Amino acid sequence: MEDILTYGFMQRALVAGIFISVACAILGIFLVLKRDAMLGHGLSHVTFGGVALGLFLGVKPLLVALVVAVLCALVIQKLREKAGLYEDTAIGIFSSTGMAIGIILVTLSGKFNVDLFSYLFGNILAIERFEVVIAVFLALAVIMIISFFYQELLYQTFDAESARTSGIRTGFLDAVLAVLTSITVVIGMKVVGILLVAALLVIPSAAGLQIAKTFRQAVIISSGVSIGSVIAGLFTAFYWDLPAAGTTVVVAFLVFLALGTVRILRKRGVLE
């Protein structure tokens, strides 16, 4: 155990992984309860377009992806509000278009290589120092913004109509949530990759929601599941040479199953 932590790459992976996983878990609870879990999935596809654009232009893909994802999140939000599109329709249009543009750009740039694969499948063990700094900074920003709007987001998620009659700007909060989701997807892609980042937003939160009685409990349990899954993923990758992204998501899924079982047993009166 001590040996593994003396490696610089492992330290960087742990620090980035823990911060990103907490941001994903907390944000994911709101998305899951708002029945908006597909937003993360859609934005991850858009992020692929952003990464491809970065590779095509020769600019840092992480930063280009961030800008593209935030802009698309805002446009999706506006389309939902103003164009009368169903929520999943707006997401579907942008996710597939983002993916399509990404494929064209990658083909044009001839960069269908290891670099792109690390974005698609994640490679947290190869995370660079500057990426750790950006990831930690953005994860902290997401967590802080959520804590500032925590009560309003909770009210809006539980009962949006009544929240409006309390003077809460629900449209603005939806936009905030969409932007935070896009940021989280971009930084989460370093941990589990574009293809699996939506899982990090949904599974730990869904797991926490199985047994939480209050919102605060949901935040704590989901964050714990998320951190535990990322650490488990890192350790299995180190010791058994398995892909960290895949094992992280599988561990989260197993915890989800376990907590789901606890919920069923509680419901049947077998457990307190």
- For another protein, the binding residues (CB under 8 A) are 33, 148-149, 151-152, 154-155, 158-159, 161-168, 209, 212-215, 217-218
Based on CB atoms, which residue is closest to another protein, 33 or 105?
Answer: 33
At residue 185's C-alpha, the angle toward residues 236 and 52, to 5°, is 100
Q: Concatenated DSSP letters for 177-208?
A: HHHHHHHHHHHHHHHH-TTTHHHHHHHHHHHH
Based on CB atoms, which residue is closest to another protein, 168 or 254?
Answer: 168
Distance, CA of 149 to CA of 172 (rounded, Å): 11
Q: How far is the CB of 164 from another protein (least distance, A)?
A: 6
Q: How far is the CB of 224 from another protein (least distance, A)?
A: 15
Q: How far is the CB of 113 from another protein (least distance, A)?
A: 44
Q: How far is the CB of 212 from another protein (least distance, A)?
A: 4
Token reading at 18 = 């823990």
Based on CB atoms, which residue is closest to another protein, 82 or 129?
Answer: 82
Token reading at 63 = 């930063």
Q: How far is the CB of 202 from another protein (least distance, A)?
A: 16
Based on CB atoms, which residue is closest to another protein, 59 or 271?
Answer: 271
At residue 94's C-alpha, the angle toward residues 68 and 31, to 5°, is 85
Q: Which of 164, 270, 158 is nearest to 218 (CA)?
A: 158
Distance, CA of 79 to CA of 75 (rounded, Å): 6
Inter-CA distances, 253 with 36, 97, 132, 135, 199, Å: 19, 29, 26, 24, 9
Based on CB atoms, which residue is closest to another protein, 157 or 247?
Answer: 157
